[in-house]
Amino acid sequence: MEEGVILKGPAIIGPGVFIGAHAYIRGGNWIHERCSIGHGCELKSSFVFAESRLAHFNFVGDSIIGRDVNLEAGSIICNHRNERVHKTIYVRADGIRLNTGIEKFGTLIGDHSRLGANSVIAPGTLIQPSTVIERGALRDDDATEI
């Protein structure tokens, strides 16, 4: 761990994990082995599986990040629908829109996926394994107002 890291438990941090300077690890995280959390990242209530890498200045909230996933610098995983009157998060699975019943949920990112720098993933988005999201992209599987 580098200088200035803030850890707020509970947190489980596996062997060989690197956490860069001034990262903020807060409230209910599980980080598996050989992961890298870059400087200035914020990680909230998330699971990060082995060998995944969050470059500098990422936010990941209330999410599940698969094995060997790479988030380039500035990627944002949103976990709240502030722009809506009704805040409940919906997900789409096999073309069906499902109500999660909760107001805080980010994403589930499948193994071996890649998110380009400054990409934004909206709440409730499910990303299949080995998906590549281009730099600066917005991915929102539920852009419809409820």
82: left (phi over 0), alpha (psi -120 to 50) or beta: alpha
Torsion 95-96-97-102 (CA) sign: negative
32 is catalytic: no
Contacts of 94 (CB under 8 A, 6+ apart): none
Both tokens of 9, joined, read 């438990």
Across the strands, what pairs with 133?
A: 115
On whether the CB atoms of residues 127 and 145 are closer than 8 A, the answer is: no
Catalytic residue among 22, 39, 56, 80: 56
d(CA 80, CA 102) in angstroms, rounded, equals 10
Active site residues: 56
